[in-house]
């Protein structure tokens, strides 16, 4: 709680400028709701109590929560581990669900389709809880993306039914889920990540991950040729596990702690007017973020509507991943269970995230870097040039840099030009982004027309970005409002100049 209060709590909001908008922030949370959630031990509670030195600055002077449930791993070097209650494959479980009950609840059982409201938002049950694959601890930004990709699934089902009228409900559902999941994975790989790590090399690298050195046109024409470098990871003849059954690591969970991306309010725009070139639509009002989370957030979103919410998020920069930029409204949060129901206890999420890394035995910052074969720091000045930050780091940790908590180090670390994240985080991103593709048979040996259908395979291969998905379902948004090269960068900026990447890497973009 000392660490969270002195080094994480937002003192003044800092954003990412034009690089990333609130859709980009919502996207990574949309992905986390697809990938990872630890099973808890609900038979006991842990209580954190703020020491006197920070008690008067904390939103909560104490709070209780469930510890992570530990399981035997069967290995001598790591005796205990945790179970993931979300499916860790890139399988769209954020809209489909991770267990049989949820899988059935989201379906209409007609032509393979999923439930969606007539207004284009998530349908709600009799208790006002949204019907989607994952609804625990959500907010309006995640809900809009869930709704968008339910519509994508819906459209795919219609296309499959037209092309293959003999398909039954279950067959249509399974094919549409494969196709939708692949579209999500592709957008994340060659659209979102490219904006997060905005350099020419990363643009080329992420496209090589998907298409290989020979490029998209060659791969579309001749299929996967050569190994993972020449032909890309997607479409390999067989999955690659590197001798370890696929799973998501605790290090992966830790580097995705990014709640600093969230602002204190959403700047709701007036979309009934057409502004001048490269100008944002007029500000209508500011909606405090607490009004957009949980059950209250779903009610607020239904009043705002999909289009206004999406356009507003597109024009607003998200928060920067830096020290003292953690939203204070998340430090007095009503948490939810897997069924989307509010729990009785409030939590300080910033303090809880620091605790979770320690509880789950994730290495502290310096050892974490050593494990990745990166240079550790020997003094605070190696980490940051911010003198004020250095003083607070000394106040909290003394001169012992080995005690530095991972999340604090990731936020304090000086960024590489173009990177919205730290170099330390980037190494884990790069390793696991590749592994999620190469270990999955539906992106390797079964990434073909037989598994996806010819129509479905074409759908995946012709979708390149989130803008493409918006064009299908909300063409009025993309045509009227998006004037940037990616839906994930701030929309009121002029279109970016083409990236000067050598022809042999870009061909034929």
Report, as residue numbers or ranges, the catalytic residues. Answer: 33
Using CB atoms within 10 A of its CB, is residue 502 exposed (0-12), middle (13-18) or buried (19+)? exposed
Q: Which residues contact 308 (CB under 8 A, 6 or more apart)?
A: 268, 269, 271
Is 270:284 a contact under the CB 8 Å cutoff? yes
**Residue 74 C-beta-side C-alpha neighbours within 13 Å:** 0
Backbone angles phi, psi at 293, to 5 degrees: -110, 155
Interatomic CA distance for residues 360 and 362, integer angstroms = 6
Most distant CA pair in the chain, distance:
70
Residue 286, strand partner residues: 267
Using CB atoms within 10 A of its CB, is residue 270 exposed (0-12), middle (13-18) or buried (19+)? middle
Interatomic CA distance for residues 474 and 311, integer angstroms = 11
Q: Which helix (H) or strand (E) holds 287?
A: strand 283-288
Give the Cβ contact number of residue 243 at 10 Å.
5
Helix, strand, or coil (residue 300) = helix
For the chain, give me the number of helices (H) and strands (E)?
24, 8
Q: Which residues contact 352 (CB under 8 A, 6 or more apart)?
A: 48, 63, 65
* Nearest partner of 342 among 138, 124, 66, judged by Cα: 138
Q: Tokens representing 441?
A: 């048979």
Is 198:19 a contact under the CB 8 Å cutoff? yes
Q: Tokens representing 30?
A: 């949309």
Interatomic CA distance for residues 271 and 307, integer angstroms = 8
* Nearest partner of 442 among 207, 192, 174, judged by Cα: 174
Q: Which helix (H) or strand (E) holds 114?
A: none
Measure the CA dihedral 301/303/308/312, to 10°.
Answer: -50
Interatomic CA distance for residues 136 and 353, integer angstroms = 17
Q: Are strands 265-269 and 80-82 parallel, antiparallel or unpaired?
A: unpaired
Backbone angles phi, psi at 158, to 5 degrees: -65, -40
* Buried b or exposed e, range 357-377, using 16+ CB within 10 angstroms: beebebbbbbebbeeeeeeeb
């Amino acid at each position: 709680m000392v660490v969270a209060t002195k080094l994480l709590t937002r003192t003044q909001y800092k954003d990412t400028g034009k690089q990333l908008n609130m859709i980009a922030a919502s996207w990574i949370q949309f992905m986390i709701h697809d990938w990872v959630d630890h099973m808890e031990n609900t038979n006991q509670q842990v209580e954190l109590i703020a020491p006197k030195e920070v008690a008067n600055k904390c939103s909560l002077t104490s709070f209780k929560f469930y510890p992570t449930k530990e399981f035997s791993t069967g290995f001598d070097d790591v005796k205990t581990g945790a179970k993931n209650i979300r499916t860790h494959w890139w399988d769209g479980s954020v809209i489909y669900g991770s267990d049989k009950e949820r899988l059935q609840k989201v379906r209409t059982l007609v032509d393979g389709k999923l439930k969606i409201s007539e207004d284009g938002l998530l349908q709600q049950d009799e208790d006002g809880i949204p019907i989607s694959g994952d609804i625990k601890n959500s907010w309006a930004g995640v809900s809009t993306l869930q709704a968008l990709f339910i519509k994508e699934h819906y459209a795919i089902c219609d296309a499959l039914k037209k092309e293959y009228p003999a398909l039954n409900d279950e067959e249509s559902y399974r094919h549409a889920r494969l196709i939708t999941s692949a579209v999500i994975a592709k957008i994340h790989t060659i659209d979102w990540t490219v904006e997060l790590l905005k350099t020419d090399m990363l643009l080329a690298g992420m496209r090589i991950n998907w298409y290989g050195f020979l490029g998209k046109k060659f791969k579309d024409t001749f299929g996967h040729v050569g190994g993972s470098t020449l032909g890309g990871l997607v479409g390999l003849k067989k999955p690659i596990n590197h001798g370890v059954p696929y799973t998501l690591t605790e290090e992966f969970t830790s580097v995705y702690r990014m709640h600093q991306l969230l602002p204190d309010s959403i700047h709701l725009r007036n979309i009934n007017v057409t502004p001048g070139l490269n100008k944002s639509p007029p500000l209508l009002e500011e909606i405090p973020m607490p009004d957009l989370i949980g059950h209250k957030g779903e009610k607020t979103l239904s009043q705002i509507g999909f289009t206004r919410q999406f356009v507003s998020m597109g024009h607003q920069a998200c928060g920067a991943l830096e020290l003292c930029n953690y939203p204070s409204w998340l430090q007095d949060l009503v948490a939810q269970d897997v069924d989307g129901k509010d729990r009785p206890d409030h939590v300080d999420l910033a303090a809880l995230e620091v605790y979770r890394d320690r509880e789950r035995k994730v290495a502290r910052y310096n050892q974490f870097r050593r494990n990745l074969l990166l240079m550790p720091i020997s003094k605070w000045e190696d980490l940051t040039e911010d003198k004020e930050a250095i003083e607070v780091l000394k106040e909290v940790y003394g001169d012992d840099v080995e005690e530095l908590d991972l999340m604090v180090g990731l936020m304090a670390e000086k960024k590489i030009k173009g990177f919205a994240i730290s170099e330390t985080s980037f190494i884990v991103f790069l390793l696991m982004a590749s592994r999620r593709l190469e270990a999955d048979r539906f992106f390797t040996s079964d990434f073909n027309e037989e598994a996806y259908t010819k129509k479905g395979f074409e759908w995946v291969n012709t979708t390149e970005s989130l803008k493409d998905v918006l064009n299908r379902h909300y063409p009025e948004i993309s045509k009227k409002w998006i004037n940037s090269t990616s839906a994930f960068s701030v929309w009121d900026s002029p279109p970016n100049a083409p990236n000067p990447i050598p022809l042999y890497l870009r061909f034929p973009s």
